[in-house]
Homo-oligomer: A and B are copies of this chain.
Amino acid sequence: MQGMSLVVVGSVAYDAIETPHGKRERTLGGACTYIALSASYFTKTSIVAVVGDDFAAQDHTFLASKGVDLEGLEHVSGKTFFWSGVYSADMNDRTTLKTDLNVFADFQPKLPASYSSRPYLFLGNIQPALQSGVQRQMPGVRFVGGDTMNYWISDYRAELLETIRYWDFLLINDSEARMLAKENNLRRAAQKILDMGPNTLVIKRGEYGAMLFRRDTLFIVPGYLLEDVFDPTGAGDCFAGGFVGYLAERGFDLRNGHFDVHELHRAVIYGSVMGSFCCEEFGVDRFRTLTRKEIDQRFEEFRRFTAF
């Protein structure tokens, strides 16, 4: 495995999912799981998460088989985070049927000593104060950022602003960006968010693609056009894993003052590629067979269908 290693913090869960293509009663999920699986194709990836004593040995084995470092996966007494949801016929809407936080409710991320010198950190969607706590445990981090959600934006705004102030990048969807900036126009919303701290903002737009904003660059990519979307669960997290995983692989370093901004553009493409693969099967199943060769082929496909 090439590149510099990455730490990912977030949820590991079991999901019950229903889409027009079928139904799964209990399948491995959680943001941290998707991000780590996706990033594992690019760089050594270590996770910080918590599961209950119902966590299956086969899921542990699967993650380990993809090279994911599980030293920071805490096992505690109780049940693993459980989520269940159902998608609309066109899959543009989903309804959450159940969210049982279980052991995740008291999650206090603790980093193994071996993680503290890792250069790349992705903070998945958890309470902002916990995200800050993790960042403080990695004083030598060179590239740090993460995700958040509407709940933290509306109800923990001050805490969130204090947290993202120290991030290199923020990766959210378009409605979250509008909510955070209190501005409907995305171009203006992005400028306001760049004033909050992150030097790089990535806005995910689902099937419509993604955008990257910095003071020195703007990059926009359309979504990959899938013939069949089986299950969109985790696509945004796989985007995140591809984005940060590729940058870690390349040893991308914003802080040394000379970097190629096109590496960030290519990271957005790898994010889009990983998000598109995620939708091709239920849950994390696509990653049971996906190869790096297929990933690079789809990257080249993005070149072809955007060339003019």
What is the interface of chain A, defined by CB distance below 8 A to chain B?
A: 89-90, 184-188, 205, 208-209, 211, 218-223, 225-229, 262, 265-266, 268-269, 302-308
Chain B residues whose CB sits within 8 angstroms of the CB of A227 once the complex forms: 185, 187-188
Q: Is the CB of A184 within 8 A of B90?
A: yes
Chain B residues whose CB sits within 8 angstroms of the CB of A211 once the complex forms: 222, 225
Closest chain B CB from A194 CB (angstroms): 14
Chain B residues whose CB sits within 8 angstroms of the CB of A185 once the complex forms: 226-229
Partner of A209, one of B89, B222, B302, B305: B222
Q: Which residue of B lies closest to A89 (CB)?
A: B184
Chain B residues whose CB sits within 8 angstroms of the CB of A188 once the complex forms: 227
Chain B residues whose CB sits within 8 angstroms of the CB of A228 once the complex forms: 185
Q: Is the CB of B266 within 8 A of A308?
A: yes
Q: Which residue of B lies closest to A225 (CB)?
A: B187
Q: How far is the CA of A222 from the CA of B302 in the complex (A)?
A: 13
- Chain copies in the assembly? 2
Q: Is the CB of B221 within 8 A of A225?
A: no
Chain B residues whose CB sits within 8 angstroms of the CB of A268 once the complex forms: 308
Chain B residues whose CB sits within 8 angstroms of the CB of A262 once the complex forms: 307-308
Q: How far is the CA of A185 from the CA of B302 in the complex (A)?
A: 19
Q: Is the CB of B308 within 8 A of A269?
A: yes
Q: Is the CB of A219 within 8 A of B306?
A: yes
Q: Is the CB of A220 within 8 A of B306?
A: yes
Which residue, of A205, A209, A220, A302, has the highest number of chain B Cβ atoms within 10 A?
Answer: A220
Chain B residues whose CB sits within 8 angstroms of the CB of A302 once the complex forms: 308
Which residue, of A184, A229, A269, A303, has the highest number of chain B Cβ atoms within 10 A?
Answer: A184
Partner of A307, one of B89, B186, B226, B265: B265
Q: Is the CB of B225 within 8 A of A222?
A: no
Q: Which residue of B lies closest to A188 (CB)?
A: B227
Q: Is the CB of A226 within 8 A of B187?
A: yes
Chain B residues whose CB sits within 8 angstroms of the CB of A305 once the complex forms: 218-220
Q: Which residue of B lies closest to A91 (CB)?
A: B184
Q: How far is the CA of A205 from the CA of B268 in the complex (A)?
A: 21
Q: How far is the CA of A222 from the CA of B186 in the complex (A)?
A: 14
Chain B residues whose CB sits within 8 angstroms of the CB of A306 once the complex forms: 219-221, 306
Q: Which residue of B lies closest to A178 (CB)?
A: B90
